[in-house]
Chain A
Amino acid sequence: MVNKKQPVDFEALLSTIDAAFPMVQILDKDGKVVNKDIMPDLSDDQLVEIMEKMVWSRILHERSMALARQGRLGFYAPTAGQEASQLASHYAFVKEDVLLPGYRDIPQLIQHGLPVSKAFLWSRGHSLGNEYPEDLNALPPQIIIGAQIIQAMGVGIGLKKRGKQNVAFTYTGDGGSSQGDFYEGLNYAGAYKAPVVFFIQNNGYAISTPRHKQTAATTLAQKAVAAGIPGIQVDGMDALAVYAVTKQARDWAVAGNGPVLIETITSRFGPHSTSGDDPTRYRDQESFDYWEQRDPLIRYRNFLTEKGIWSEEKENQLIEKTKEEIKASVTEADQAPKQKVSDFLKNMYETPTQVIAEQIATFEAKESK
């Protein structure tokens, strides 16, 4: 037998790649600091603010589930479990940065300036939900998985051409990283050195399809290598780690170094969406138990309580206040006027075409009856 050396050691190659994407973590699952060297520079007030946003988001989630069950909301994609991934990442951006959310990224969109009542109108399917003021630097939630990635790339290139010190940031899920547009967006942003921060929120499932059926890649962060850009894998249940890597990525992008890909390892505690998905068909109880023990709120709460800057009383006050605000937002959404087809027709083109003008006249006659 000839024992000739192979030209390339494939096993060594793969393990070298995997080794380059360790999971960044600052707080362990009990809220103990395990990596104080990379602790972000945040004041006590800022640390508390991140907790407030996460608690707010959990309550928004619980109320949204209840409202959807009552038929008072339409499409809703649950967010519980992803608070650190969504809210702590958003906390690293500024109002002038441009957000391109996926359909599960409503909490970031609201934090970026979208009124809660509009988020509810979007869920119900009302045009007012997407009527954004000019200074809201965001697009409505994207339904076509991957489209937000190529568009964020375009926005980033636009920001760079305008000489702005801002970034575009966008989110997709683990399933979304299999799309062509995901790769194209990263690759273009790299080629143009565009200021974009891309997030993969890896919650383990794309509807019922587990993460390991999407790709043979050990991490999703390593997909950045294909675009020649930095990729980071972070504990997505750890608010401090998510904030720290997002801040670093934003600083890097704003400084003109190009885009960054961040994979947050997270979980959704509920179904894929309220449109009839039953996660017990494809996930066992152990999986839910495992992740609920890693609840971002529990560990961050422990961390803040230990520091003496958070209390049960404070949290309960915040919960009550949030519930009241959500109630008011539902009432506001209820008051939206009935949608008119003539308005839809008027929003097709700047100037209606002849055929559309005819249809406007037809519908206005019907609507005035």
Chain B
Amino acid sequence: MAQKTMIEAITQALDQEMERDQDILIFGEDVGKNGGVFRATAGLQEKYGEERVSDTPLAESGIGGLAIGLALQGFRPVPEIQFIGFLFEVLDSIVGQAARTRYRMSSTRNMPITIRTPFGGGVHTPEMHSDNLEGLLTQSPGIKVVVPSNPYDAKGLLTSALRDNDPVVFMEHMKLYRSFRDEVPEESYTIPLGKAAITREGKDVSVITYGAMVREAIKAADELEKEGISVEIVDLRTISPLDIETIIASVEKTGRVVVVQEAQRQAGVGAMVMSEISERAILSLKAPIGRVAAPDTVFPFGLAETSWLPNATDIAEKVKATYNF
């Protein structure tokens, strides 16, 4: 096993799947010779040629149409949307078209497309680069939404996404790209989509979260342990569909929950997780479900990120309040 960053794990998953399946095509803005603005596709065009790894004109909607058309010709497109904020340009292709194809054609056609896109705060990007827009996608039937929180999961989940026969949006948190390394097996492996992970076992409070907030939850849990509060962390990994079974099992065990997301309170998937728990496990609850989320403003100006983004301190405070309710 090797120590890899999340971006290296992503590149390896792409490489191994391209090797395995000739129908996989990668394309987007600057993903070819340049190897991507984050180096996620570094070396792939050199290895597989321009026919399989190509740069597109600068037009996200066109990228979406290209993916759909190629899927209709039997390819497995893996387009990249350079930054999440540019998702709006291609929302019709993803939500209005690809997500609906299997349904509208009664499974006579399908869209095995994986859309990769970086997102997430903490790295002082310019406007419309870091927004947490996953909630828009999880409200759209017909697509799956995956948000890995570490290099190991990123490789296994991306491999599964590429093999899935329905559209998947694979959201890569920019702060996690290179912030730490993890043991990642060299050989190919998969992690099932729609399955959460118990990042840390605990008995007092369940923290249900995803993406960069998993690391913040771990920090908070370390602190709380010193105070005698045992936190169980559920990393959703796939945020649509939700792994209801794992969520409910954890809630039934601890009886207290805090749902944590980087997105604004009115966005993300926190409310969805809370409502599933209310419907399915209310009798197990010893306290109201807590929530940590960003304020309901537009994503902050770069210098204001630290005071805006939820962090370990916010999580610890909410867990304590829930524990002491």
Point out the residue from A140, A151, A187, A356 that lies within 8 Å of B68, measured CB to CB: A151
Contacts of A354 in B (CB 8 A): 194, 241, 243-245
Instruction: With CB as the reference atom, state the residue of chain A lying closest to B67.
Output: A154
Which A188-239 residues sit within 8 Å CB-CB of chain B?
188, 191
Q: Which of B104-112, B211-219, B296-304 lies at the binding interface? A: B104-112
Is the C-beta of B306 less than 8 angstroms from some C-beta in chain A?
no
* CB atoms of A187 and B69 under 8 A apart: no
Chain B positions within 8 Å of A270 at CB level: none
A158 vs B106: C-alpha distance when bound (angstroms): 23
B244:A154 contact, CB within 8 angstroms: no
A95 to chain B, nearest CB (A): 16
Determine if B62 and A188 form an interchain contact, defined as CB atoms under 8 angstroms apart.
yes
Nearest B residue to A148, CB-CB = B65
Given A139-B72, A155-B69, A354-B194, A184:B104 Cβ within 8 A: no
Known: A150-B93, A151-B68, A161-B73. A140 touches B105 (CB 8 A): yes
Tell me, rounded to whole Å, the shortest Cβ–Cβ distance linking B304 to chain A: 32
**A158 touching B103, Cβ below 8 Å:** no
Contact B61 A180 (CB under 8 A): yes
Contacting A154 at CB < 8 Å: which of B69, B102, B166? Answer: B69
Assembly CA distance A349 to B100 (angstroms): 10
CB of B64 within 8 A of chain A? Answer: yes
Contacts of A152 in B (CB 8 A): 69
**Smallest beta-carbon distance A53→chain B, Å:** 26
Could you tell me if B97 and A147 are in contact, using CB atoms closer than 8 angstroms? yes
Known contacts A147-B96, A150-B62, A184-B59: does B109 contact A132 (CB below 8 Å)?
Answer: yes
Least distance between A175 CB and chain B CB atoms (Å): 17
Pick the residue among B65, B107, B108 that contacts A150 (CB under 8 A): B65
Summarize A's interface: helix, strand, loop or mixed.
Answer: helix
* Partner pick for B241 among A140, A159, A355, CB 8 A cutoff: A355
Of the residues B96, B107, B194, B243, contact of A347 by C-beta under 8 Å: B107
Is B142's CB within 8 Å of the partner chain A? yes
User: With A147-B92, A188-B57 given, can you name 11 additional A-B contacts, CB distance below 8 Å?
Assistant: A144-B97, A147-B93, A150-B69, A150-B93, A151-B97, A158-B72, A158-B73, A161-B75, A181-B61, A181-B65, A350-B165
Chain A residues engaging chain B, CB cutoff 8 angstroms:
98, 127-128, 130-134, 139-140, 144, 147, 149-159, 161-162, 168, 180-181, 184-185, 187-188, 191, 343-344, 346-350, 353-356
Residues on B facing A (Cβ under 8 Å): 25, 51, 56-57, 59, 61-62, 64-75, 92-93, 96-97, 102-110, 141-142, 144, 164-166, 194, 241-245
* 17 pairs, A vs B, C-beta closer than 8 Å: A127-B104, A132-B105, A139-B72, A150-B62, A151-B72, A151-B97, A153-B66, A154-B65, A154-B67, A159-B73, A161-B70, A181-B92, A191-B57, A347-B106, A348-B103, A350-B102, A350-B164
